[in-house]
Amino acid sequence: MVVIDGNELVMGRACSEIAKILSKGAKVDLINSEKIIILGTKKDIFAKYTVRRNMKGKGNPEIGPKFPRTTQGIFKRSLRGMLPKTARGREMLKKFKAYTGIPKEFEGKEKKELMHSKANSLHKFITLKELSSLLGAKQYE
């Protein structure tokens, strides 16, 4: 089992590295998912996710793609896009779990660093917690 701390990780880069770890057969737990960042301006990122959230089917508006609002759900949805679209990809996604904050069971465990996923401080960004609250998710402390 691999425990990864999501503090200041860029979402796309972290998803690709986690997908590689999952493809090797390891189980991955992501802690501090609310501190993951998305690079770009706040306005552009919010507009992109708002369009996704408001997508509806033409025949029946109740049927259609459901996009998550929570921090764990947003990250898991983007990770799903980087996995194979087969039964093997579904099995890989079942081995992934994201948490908000640090659960008690992971407090003393060693955390793996994803070096290529760290952000440069020069970029504009928004955290998943900010995006989640803008999309209307309930925040649990």
59-89 pLDDT, tens digit per residue, is 777 777 778 999 999 999 999 999 999 999 9
Question: What pLDDT sits at residue 61?
Answer: 75
Name all domains of the chain by residue range, CATH numbers in brackets: 2-135 (3.90.1180.10)
Average pLDDT rounded to a whole number, residues 125-131: 95
Alpha carbon separation from 59 to 55, 67, 72, 112 (Å, rounded): 12, 19, 30, 46
For the entire predicted model, the pTM comes to 0.91
140 pLDDT band (50/70/90 cuts)? low
119 pLDDT band (50/70/90 cuts)? confident
SS3 for 31-83 is ECHHHCEEECCHHHHHHHHHHHHCCCCCCCCCCCCCCCCCHHHHHHHHHHCCC
Q: What average pLDDT is seen over the chain?
A: 91
Cα distance between residue 9 and residue 15, in whole Å: 10
